[in-house]
Amino acid sequence: MDSNTHKMIAFLREIDKFKFMEREIYNSDGRKETNTDHSWHLAMFLLLLETEVKDRIDILKAFKMILIHDLVEIYAGDTFAFDTSEAKKTKEARELEAADKLFKQLPQKLGKELHDLWNEYESAKTKTAKFVKGLDRIQAFNQNIMTKGRIYKEHNVSLDRVIKYKREYADSDPLLKEIYASFIEETKKHF
């Protein structure tokens, strides 16, 4: 096995940790959602919505972003969207450091590609990145609808905070805007 292949296999083994990281959100069966649950479900959202958005975003790039967008949490940890603790204040710095550490483990060209994709997602300046960020929020929103707002209630998150946070990227695409509006109506039933 050549050096690049060896690095890729080592990276795949390292990111196995991703499978066991729990998020603050619940699955519909009552257990905490893992990062892999989240990423898989987010990819399924894109797969099913692909024909609706394929003329507005780069689908392959969007799938790649979905697969890597939370990988840095292996080192940085997951920070709940509505967290008000010190963790929220240090999230960006922890994730930047984690991204450097993580993507340097790959062959240089591949590591740069994934790091650049992660940076594009984080900065949310392109249509594709904005769409994936919006979809990311909608997927989590959907989980909370299926659990009747359980995590919002546990953390005393107001409907106004939910609406404001979820809206940030929803307006970036007409389909996301439509789904968002529908989810707001469903969420109101649980507050």
Query: In 39-61, which positions are buried (b, 16+ CB within 10 angstroms) versus exposed (e)?
Result: bebbbebbeebeeebeeebebeb
Residues with pLDDT less than 50, the chain:
none
Cβ atoms of residues 132 and 66 within 8 Å: yes
- pLDDT tens for 157-169 read 998 998 888 788 9
Query: Alpha carbon of 175 to those of 17, 45, 49, 80, 161: distances in Å?
Result: 33, 12, 9, 25, 22
- Scanning the structure block, which residue is given the tokens 């989590």? 140
pLDDT at position 135: 96
Structure tokens at 141: 């929103």
pLDDT at position 168: 85
Closest CA to 175 of 63, 53, 51: 53
Task: Say how far apart CA 179 and CA 128 lie, in whole Å.
Answer: 17
pLDDT at position 140: 92
Q: Would you tell me which CATH number, out of the four given (3.30.450.270, 3.40.640.10, 1.10.3210.10, 2.60.130.10), belongs to the domain 3-188?
A: 1.10.3210.10
Task: Say how far apart CA 102 and CA 163 lie, in whole Å.
Answer: 33
pLDDT at position 181: 93
> Mind giving me the DSSP string for 28-94?
TTSSEEEHHHHHHHHHHHHHHHHHHHTTTS-HHHHHHHHHHTTTTHHHH----TT--SHHHHHHHHH
Task: Say how far apart CA 39 and CA 34 lie, in whole Å.
Answer: 9
